[in-house]
Amino acid sequence: MDKNKLMALGVTLVLSVACSPSKTVKMQQALSVDKTERVESKYAGPKRRIGVSEFVNKTTYGQGRLGGSATDILVTELTKSGKFIVVERDRMEKIMEEQKLQSQGMTDPQTAAQVGRILGLEAIVVGAVSQFGVKTEGSDYLISQTKKQVADVTVDIRLVDVQSGQVLMADSGKGQAKSKKGSFLGMGTKGGYDETIEGEALRAAIVQFVTNIDSQLNKKAWSCMVADASGDGIYLNAGQDSGMSVGMKLDCFSQRGEIRDPRSNLVIGHREEYLGMVEIQRYCGDTGDCSIARMINAAGGAPKAKDICRLAK
């Protein structure tokens, strides 16, 4: 092959590469402002039943989509972990509408706790996209151009215990995503804003929260609620899908009233009466999240709907 043909072939190869879209997205590991220590606990076992409220977008960017995107990403990551039963946020919104709580909003821990108790949750995550920015970097040479878009995001969350209304964890995650495009001799990709880096940056900021939420909840005993009681049967709102096993033992308590902080008048807990120990006998229902237990060690009255049962120590 002569020299001219070789040069022509080289130019053709370069142009073909330049004309095909070139995109690489790099994500940085989510950074937690408060590093949450991993807790290995005897309470780890069945899946935790939690909810995720609609995240607030506190930035001036992406109104109407960043908050919803952040919520969806966290729900996906929590579900993928296999450690949680996540209640859809439309169910929480329906409860808020029924209880006329829309004006208070889920950003209020006491409102979140009230909704969580109605749904039989252990905790609710409330959060906000607090910072979001995109910058464009690039170089412009005689025969080639490159363009790099960089998205930086900060997401803040609070984990609210639904029994006490107290914030179990406040955490912040940061993520970054990059998209690079180029052209050669005026040919190639010169596209505008790449919206996909929004989701990549959000996911980078949020993914670490799953481990932190799990660690914080492992500090307290796993719990579920009595859905109904009839004769010897005690029906619990947790079953096979939650990781319950036949023969598992739980301590059940009746909540007699609220305990309020004398300074703030906020609910910080409930008075409890120990009812006794129950043992899982079998699963029930069509959802996979129901089980039937029987009392094996009575200490008080019989459990009834809305009573709490915790994993026995």
What digits encode the pLDDT tens for the residues 257-305?
888 888 888 777 778 999 999 999 999 977 778 999 999 999 988 899 9
CATH number belonging to the domain at 223-311, selected among 2.40.10, 1.10.20, 2.60.120, 1.10.132: 2.40.10
How far lies 23's CA from each of 4, 12, 152, in Å?
Answer: 32, 21, 18
What is the per-residue pLDDT for 46? 87
Residue 105 vs residue 58, higher pLDDT: 58
State the distance between the two ends of the chain, measured CA to CA, in whole angstroms: 81
Region 32-54 average pLDDT: 64
What CA–CA distance (Å, rounded) separates 221 from 201? 34
Strands 144-161 and 167-184: antiparallel
223-311 shares the fold of 23-217? no
How far lies 303's CA from each of 107, 250, 252, in Å?
Answer: 33, 12, 7
Q: What would the CATH number be for the domain defined by 23-217?
A: 3.40.50.10610
What CA–CA distance (Å, rounded) separates 203 from 74? 8
Q: Which of 124-128, 132-136, 290-294 has the lowest mean pLDDT?
A: 132-136
Domain map (residue ranges) of the chain: 23-217, 223-311
Across-strand partners of 194?
none
Share of the chain above pLDDT 90, in %: 35
Would you give the DSSP letter of residue 215? H
| Local confidence band at 21 (pLDDT 50, 70, 90 cut-offs) | very low
